[in-house]
Chains A and B, each alone.
Chain A
Amino acid sequence: MIPRFTAPLLPELILSIGGTILMILAAFTGRRGSGVTSWLAVALLIGATIALVGPPSHAGPVFDGLVTADLFASFGKAIMFPAAAVAIIAAHGWFERGTEHASEYSVLIVFAAVGMSVMVSATSLIALYVGLELNSLAGYVLASYRRTDERSAEAGLKYFVLGALASGILLYGISLLYGFTGTTNFTGIAAAFGRGAPSLGLLFGLVFLLAGLAFKASVVPFHMWTPDVYEGAPTPVTAFFASAPKVAAVLLSVRVCVEGLGPATDAWRQIVIFAALASIFLGAVAAYGQTNIKRLLAYSSINNVGFALVGLAAAGPRGTSSVLFYMAVYVVMTLGAFLCVLWMRDAEGRPVEDIESLSGLAQTRPGFAAAFAIFMFSLAGIPPLFGFWPKLLVFTAAVETGYVALAVAAILGTVIGAYYYLKIVKIMYMDEPAAPYRRVRQPVQGLLILVAALAVSPLGYLLIGPLSSLTDRAAGTLF
């Protein structure tokens, strides 16, 4: 007899059971099996994505309201699982060269995906913490995956220490909230906040909880780890960090704020507004002097999450929907950009991360340069590229909620940020060619870059209709 809860949890079951089997497989086959393991992991993730289709995947609360399978969660999973799969594919041709054992990489990503999946479906503080830690623990190992590389080990350690601190802050917030409300359930907490003005203890809990989440989403002022970890971690891992876990953290914050802290909107809104603007401006300004492309993209991701938070600050179904839209497009742009970074190899095939090495790429590798330029203009939010549209949506949400000044400030941030994206385009298109990159023979990655570039090109505007109706419905489940 199959228990009742299996249908709504099918994606997580596929990933957990499949991941465990893969781990055993990896242990037995060793390095020889790494190719098979990674494709099996991709298959698992695709299978889990397919399992999202249909009513059971948004059937409602499971495990007495610890987690829920609703459309909001399914939307997040539908972005994160493919993103995780791309991160696995991104590692092809990366770890084989060294002495690393590549099989566990895919397994760890699958487990991280389970963690993220719990994060976006969590409706209780306990599930929230479990999902977040599952994701983070996999992340710590992934960051230091290249054991022999000092930078990678440093990144892992830094991530772990700071992550543990953030978890501590988060737990403290959770304990305060539990202590003052007597429940860990989001709806119960919302009810407690709904009973008149929140007490000081509740507000403390709220602030600590949000601080912990802000660390995961690398929102200013809890962003310090991001550039270092992004730079030190192996590039496929960085691609993963910048995409799926970020979506999970942002979506989790949205659910906590809207579902759990809904009646206290005025209390958390000012925090979110500050975090959004600080992220936008710091992300834009700090990227100016960077010479390492991964650090630059780290600041770019901080900047972009700031824009998504503008949508959260607007609250309401409109704002939530715009956040979902933003994260969906953001993931495509970021993964595309990181796949391009993966292809930056010197003549011997060693990875290069120096921005100057992109000089004159448009002349040596026109297609590669065009794709990279599309991602840069799109991340900058310059029309007619599709990256403009999600920015427009979050600004619309802010203006319609009456936060015109917020929208004005954020939009000025786009102009400041545009400079460093333009700088990359300038280096690729206007400078004299540097030593050409060695060609990477990875047709699947090439195809992914092409698909991502087409999706954020003006052709993306054709997706507005279906995507916005989906995000509207997904956001609607929270209200």
Chain B
Amino acid sequence: MIGSHLLTVLIAVPLFAGVLCLFVRAEGARWIALIATLLDLALSAYLWVTYDPNGAQWQFVESVPLGGAINWSLGIDGIALVLIALTTFLMPICIGASWRSIQKRVPEYMAYFLLMEALILGSFSAQDLFLFYVFFEGGLIPMYLIIGIWGGAERIKASYKFFLYTLFGSVLMLIAMLYMRSVAGTTYIPSLLVFNFPREAQTFLFLAFLASFAVKLPLWPVHTWLPDAHVQAPTAGSVILAGVLLKLGGYGFIRFSLPMFPEGSVQFIPLMFVLSGIAVVYTSLVALVQRDMKKLIAYSSVAHMAFVTFGLFAMNRQGIEGAMLVMLGHGLVSGALFLCVGVVYDRLHTREIAAYGGLSDNMPGYALLFMVFTMASVGLPGLSNFPGEFLSSVGTYRASSWAAIVATTGIILGAAYMLWLYWRICFGAARTPEAAAMKDLDVREWWLLAPIALAVVWMGVYPESFLRPIRKDVGRLMTRVETVAPAGDSHLTPGNGAVHIDMGAMH
């Protein structure tokens, strides 16, 4: 019984736990939330183990018609699987991060978090267009409340900005969905994935979906909600925002834009490359001059997400696989970095970089883990972000060498701002006596950060375990896009073409 409705159970567990939270006191709500998220983690581990990478495209499929134009259709492929795993992995950590730092209105807080987990998992597993939209948009409500109630001083403005920006993006997507339904006559995503929309319509459909996913991802110039939201959100809110919610944008491109409107996507490759290029360079430079730790990491998120769009719109296997790995790696690392900020914020209640310094003396454990995540964010080989950024750059190079040059400057700038941040916080002498007196990580904080550190190392050393589930799905995506994908410029050779490097052959 449960076996055939595994995804429904996965969504229902946090949902019911969330409702339950509203009826208990703070301590009870914390435990309910922790148990529910751990249960979901166990369920998703079971999904991962039983998922057959060589099996059918859609697994754990279930469908119940709700009447009208919407069906309760769930099912996942490898791409959704790894993102579900990322979500369920980060959720218990978020609950743990809020264990003591959230003191007011705890049951409500836990309820919104669990509701959000349910909605995110729903978006990743929905197989019906409108069901996806309902889940995708529904996530706004709990996040709006989390930022607005538990956020910092500017929380109200940030919550409005977050909500209205993303709503505006999404409603255009809704129009496109209505059109798709009237043309294709179905809302079943697997059928739409192989449906060929009229060429001229694809342009508009792509733009409409772009409006939504670009805001969500976020892509320059519609990223401005992100730093506000991040800075004002509580630590766990930032973790989930950076770790998972942004990934919905990338997931949207992979699930909808590229396979459903390949010809529309091709037309906009130059636009996407230019926007991503600006994002990488501009937001990296902006990150460099930030005084607020959270804001710095928020801007670095925008820069990293640009690697996702670079990889995706390279429209080759390396690029798309790389984009997936960047999403996973960034989900882990940015989440961990926000947790690291949270750790010192809980002690000193400031996010000013200038207030810290010399933490490696009094917080060696913290300095060690922070170093691991900093290096991962920089893209050090052997840690999680390297395989993704490398593949994504290779893919981009095959498509356009100019784009690749711009993209890789982002890696250099990334190293600059992250290492400088680390230097200012952990090295040198403490700038305030309060900073020098801070205690090292306690057991709870170790429990939060160590699992992410392990995952980061695992991804860096053996990315194959994350590539295996998605390989066939990326292949299916390739069959949709490669017929229309333009030839790249990397095989252009000077002279009479004596040296012909085919990067595809190396794969």
Binding site for B on A (CB under 8 A): 362-363, 366, 377, 382-384, 388-389, 392-393, 395-396, 399-400, 404, 407-408, 411-412, 414-415, 418-419, 422, 425-426, 429-430, 458, 461-462, 464-466, 468-469
Contact B175 A407 (CB under 8 A): yes
Inside 8 A of A422's CB, which chain B residues have their CB?
144, 160, 163-164
Contact B160 A419 (CB under 8 A): yes
Inside 8 A of B130's CB, which chain A residues have their CB?
392
Contact A382 B145 (CB under 8 A): no
Interface presence of B406 (CB below 8 A): no
Chain B stretch 118-176: residues in CB contact (< 8 A) with chain A: 119, 130, 133-135, 137-138, 140-141, 144-145, 148-149, 155-156, 159-160, 163-164, 167-168, 171-172, 174-175
Determine how close the nearest CB of chain B comes to the CB of A362; give it in whole angstroms.
7
Instruction: Give the docked Cα–Cα distance between A469 and B164 (Å).
Output: 34
Q: Would you list the 5 A-B pairs with minimal beta carbon distance, nearest first?
A: A465-B67, A384-B138, A464-B68, A383-B134, A399-B178
Interface centre among A393, A419, A422 (most CB of B within 10 A): A422
Instruction: Give the docked Cα–Cα distance between A316 and B293 (Å).
Output: 57
Contact A461 B105 (CB under 8 A): no
Contact of B175 among A362, A404, A465 (CB under 8 A): A404
Determine how close the nearest CB of chain B comes to the CB of A260; give it in whole angstroms.
29
Instruction: Give the docked Cα–Cα distance between A45 and B119 (Å).
Output: 40
Contact B134 A465 (CB under 8 A): no
Q: A384-B134, A395-B178 are in contact. Are A430 and B68 (CB under 8 A)?
A: no
Instruction: Give the docked Cα–Cα distance between A363 and B108 (Å).
Output: 10
Closest chain A residue to B69 by CB distance? A396
Binding site for A on B (CB under 8 A): 22, 65-70, 105, 108, 119, 130, 133-135, 137-138, 140-141, 144-145, 148-149, 155-156, 159-160, 163-164, 167-168, 171-172, 174-175, 178-179, 181-182
Contact A395 B140 (CB under 8 A): no
Determine how close the nearest CB of chain B comes to the CB of A101; give it in whole angstroms.
43
Instruction: Give the docked Cα–Cα distance between A393 and B179 (Å).
Output: 12
Inside 8 A of B155's CB, which chain A residues have their CB?
430
Inside 8 A of A462's CB, which chain B residues have their CB?
66
Contact A396 B181 (CB under 8 A): yes
Contact A468 B67 (CB under 8 A): yes
Instruction: Give the docked Cα–Cα distance between A362 and B163 (Å).
Output: 20
Known: A408-B172, A430-B148, A430-B155. 12 other contacts (CB 8 A): A382-B140, A383-B134, A396-B69, A396-B181, A396-B182, A400-B178, A414-B167, A415-B167, A418-B164, A429-B149, A430-B149, A458-B138
Q: A396-B69, A464-B70, A465-B68 are in contact. Are A388 and B163 (CB under 8 A)?
A: no
Contact of A465 among B65, B108, B168 (CB under 8 A): B65
Determine how close the nearest CB of chain B comes to the CB of A453; give it in whole angstroms.
13
Contact A429 B145 (CB under 8 A): yes
Closest chain B residue to A374 by CB distance? B141
Inside 8 A of A396's CB, which chain B residues have their CB?
69, 178, 181-182
Determine how close the nearest CB of chain A comes to the CB of B139; give it in whole angstroms.
9
Instruction: Give the docked Cα–Cα distance between A10 and B62 (Å).
Output: 46
Contact A468 B68 (CB under 8 A): yes
B-side binding surface: helix, strand, loop or mixed? helix
Inside 8 A of B163's CB, which chain A residues have their CB?
418, 422
Closest chain B residue to A370 by CB distance? B22
Determine how close the nearest CB of chain A comes to the CB of B110; give it in whole angstroms.
14
Closest chain A residue to B115 by CB distance? A384
Instruction: Give the docked Cα–Cα distance between A392 and B135 (Å).
Output: 15
Determine how close the nearest CB of chain B comes to the CB of A2; give it in whole angstroms.
39
Interface centre among B68, B138, B140, B148 (most CB of A within 10 A): B68
Inside 8 A of A468's CB, which chain B residues have their CB?
67-68
Inside 8 A of B134's CB, which chain A residues have their CB?
383-384, 388, 458, 461
Inside 8 A of B145's CB, which chain A residues have their CB?
425, 429
Closest chain B residue to A325 by CB distance? B68
Contact A383 B178 (CB under 8 A): no
Contact A466 B67 (CB under 8 A): yes
Inside 8 A of B119's CB, which chain A residues have their CB?
384
Instruction: Give the docked Cα–Cα distance between A327 and B167 (Å).
Output: 24
Contact B182 A414 (CB under 8 A): no
Contact of B174 among A392, A426, A469 (CB under 8 A): A392
Instruction: Give the docked Cα–Cα distance between A419 and B168 (Å).
Output: 11
Instruction: Give the docked Cα–Cα distance between A334 and B119 (Å).
Output: 26
Contact A382 B69 (CB under 8 A): no
Closest chain B residue to A398 by CB distance? B178
Contact B70 A366 (CB under 8 A): no
Closest chain B residue to A413 by CB distance? B171
Closest chain B residue to A400 by CB distance? B182
Inside 8 A of B156's CB, which chain A residues have their CB?
426, 430
Inside 8 A of A469's CB, which chain B residues have their CB?
67
Instruction: Give the docked Cα–Cα distance between A138 and B148 (Å).
Output: 45
Instruction: Give the docked Cα–Cα distance between A219 and B407 (Å).
Output: 53
Inside 8 A of A414's CB, which chain B residues have their CB?
167, 171
Determine how close the nearest CB of chain A comes to the CB of B161; give it in whole angstroms.
11
Q: Jot down 20 A-B pairs with beta carbons below 8 A, ordered by A.
A: A362-B105, A384-B134, A388-B137, A392-B178, A393-B68, A395-B174, A395-B178, A399-B175, A399-B178, A399-B182, A411-B172, A412-B168, A414-B171, A415-B168, A422-B164, A426-B160, A430-B148, A458-B138, A462-B66, A465-B66
Closest chain A residue to B145 by CB distance? A429
Contact B148 A426 (CB under 8 A): yes
Inside 8 A of B66's CB, which chain A residues have their CB?
461-462, 464-465
Determine how close the nearest CB of chain A comes to the CB of B151; give it in whole angstroms.
9
Instruction: Give the docked Cα–Cα distance between A415 and B164 (Å).
Output: 7
Closest chain A residue to B105 by CB distance? A363
Contact of A383 among B65, B138, B181 (CB under 8 A): B138
Determine how close the nearest CB of chain A comes to the CB of B481; give it in whole angstroms.
26
Inside 8 A of A392's CB, which chain B residues have their CB?
69, 130, 174, 178
Determine how close the nearest CB of chain B comes to the CB of A318; give it in whole angstroms.
10
Inside 8 A of A430's CB, which chain B residues have their CB?
148-149, 155-156, 159
Inside 8 A of A407's CB, which chain B residues have their CB?
175, 178
Inside 8 A of B159's CB, which chain A residues have their CB?
426, 430
